[in-house]
């Protein structure tokens, strides 16, 4: 079956409704219609956990590649959670390379069961995204942006709030992409003002690292308790502080890709009374792409997978003042 038939098959799935159960994911996005990536059924609305937030990043939805089937695997596993998370937040690179309409169209079909289940989905921007194409396929999501020229969002939960910044440098040439992230002065001002609105713990999130977004001092001057980002496709905890003598620090965490390269998986953030704990759900590791069917996985990849099992990282809500 060719690519056009495959995408047409997904469209049929969207029209006919969801399949009755999750099925085994095929090894190629060019699979036959009977083996096309199946989407899990929408869970019945009702039992949600307001204190659980699932983070996904670097989806790189490629209609011709291996990435979609890995995203389907993640969607299926999220829908198996009991109770369901109230929120799922994606930290950019939703599209494969250049933010094509076809990539967002496929993403919409794959990720639809999350919204059908009643889960609130928030989709941030990465350097491989394009705002106009994203808005064309996800108009109701784009309409929720807190700023006119960006895709900025605020997710509020009973115990904590999440500010999602738009670090995309789009440029005039839509045939290429800019890897570095940037947050303009007006957006940084919005972050500073939004932080002041909350007395509860606040996480600042973006696709790019805090070094690229330039909000370090803004966060240190606030009650922010953590910074979460993607882009680097690895599970990497860290922290920032103003200087050597400062007692005030803010934990940072880079989360993996759902299926492109590097650490492959997602993160579950559990909000407790005095702290939050992030847990890595890692499926595999590969770089630059998965091994061919039947080929032996490199030993170092196996070590990476084994060493990352069960990893956690904690964010305390209250830190000593400087």
Residue 35 has a CB neighbour count (10 Å cut-off) of 17
| Number of domains within the chain | 1
Read off the pLDDT of each residue in 30-56 and give the average, rounded to a whole number: 63
**Residue 73 domain flag:** yes
Q: What does the alpha-carbon distance between residue 248 and residue 283 come to, in Å, rounded to a whole number?
A: 34
The pLDDT value recorded for residue 292 is: 93
pLDDT tens string 189-247? 999 999 999 999 999 999 999 999 999 999 999 989 999 999 999 999 999 999 999 99
CA angle (63, 71, 174) in 5-degree steps: 45
Q: Which residues pair with 202 in a beta bridge?
A: 161, 224
> Smallest Cα–Cα separation from 38: which of 4, 2, 69, 74?
69
Q: What is the pLDDT of residue 177?
A: 81
Of 51-60, 66-75, 145-154, 176-185, the least confident: 176-185
Please check whether residue 10 lies inside any domain of the structure. Answer: no
Q: Which pLDDT does position 41 carry in this prediction?
A: 53
CATH code of the domain in which 246 resides: 3.60.21.10
22 in a structural domain: no
Instruction: Tell whether the torsion through CA atoms of 209, 210, 214 and 215 is positive or negative.
Output: positive
In this structure, what are the phi and psi dihedrals at residue 208, rounded to the nearest 5 degrees? -95, 165
In a domain, 183, yes or no: yes
Which of 276, 49, 319 lies closest to 160, judged by CA? 276
Pairing assessment for the beta strands 84-90 and 48-56 based on DSSP bridges: parallel
Does the pLDDT value for residue 275 go beyond 80? yes
Please give the pLDDT value at position 19.
32
In a domain, 188, yes or no: yes
Confidence at 172, pLDDT banded by 50, 70, 90: confident
User: Considering only CA atoms, which of 290, 286, 283 is closest in space to residue 301?
Assistant: 286
pTM: 0.86
Q: Is residue 322 part of a domain?
A: no
Band the pLDDT of 317: cuts 50, 70, 90.
Answer: very high
Coil, helix or strand for 67? helix
Residue with tokens 């494969």: 96
pLDDT tens, 80-134? 999 999 999 999 999 999 999 999 999 999 999 999 999 999 999 999 999 999 9
Q: Which domain holds residue 143?
A: 44-316
Residues 6+ apart with CB under 8 A from 63: 3, 6, 7, 29, 96, 102, 103, 106
């Amino acid at each position: 079956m060719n690519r056009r038939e495959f995408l047409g098959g997904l469209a049929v799935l969207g029209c006919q409704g969801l399949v009755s159960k999750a099925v085994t994911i095929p090894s190629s996005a060019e699979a036959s219609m009977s083996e096309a990536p199946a989407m899990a059924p929408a869970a019945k609305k009702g039992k949600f956990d307001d204190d659980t937030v699932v983070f996904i990043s670097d989806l790189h939805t490629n209609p011709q590649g291996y990435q979609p089937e890995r995203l389907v695997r993640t969607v299926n596993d999220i829908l198996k959670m009991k109770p369901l998370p109230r929120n799922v937040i994606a930290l950019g690179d939703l599209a494969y390379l250049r933010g094509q309409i076809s990539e967002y169209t496929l993403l919409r079909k794959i990720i639809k069961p999350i919204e059908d289940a009643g889960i609130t989905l928030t989709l941030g921007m990465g350097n491989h995204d394009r705002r106009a194409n994203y808005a064309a396929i996800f108009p109701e999501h784009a309409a929720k942006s807190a700023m006119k020229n960006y895709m900025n969002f605020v997710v509020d939960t009973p115990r904590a709030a999440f500010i999602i910044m738009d670090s995309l440098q789009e440029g005039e040439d839509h045939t290429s992409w800019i890897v570095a992230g940037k947050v303009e002065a007006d957006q940084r001002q919005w972050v500073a003002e939004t932080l002041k609105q909350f007395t509860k713990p606040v996480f600042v999130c973006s696709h790019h690292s805090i070094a690229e977004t330039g909000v370090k001092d803004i966060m240190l001057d606030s009650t922010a308790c953590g910074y979460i980002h993607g882009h680097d496709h690895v599970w990497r905890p860290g922290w920032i502080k103003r200087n050597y003598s400062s007692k005030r620090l803010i934990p940072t965490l880079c989360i993996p890709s759902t299926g492109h390269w590097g650490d492959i998986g997602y993160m579950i953030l559990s909000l407790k009374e005095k702290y939050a704990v992030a847990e890595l759900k890692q499926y595999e590791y590969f770089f630059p792409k998965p091994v061919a069917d039947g080929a032996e996985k490199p030993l170092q990849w196996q070590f990476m997978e084994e060493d990352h099992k069960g990893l956690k990282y904690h964010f305390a809500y209250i830190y000593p003042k400087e």
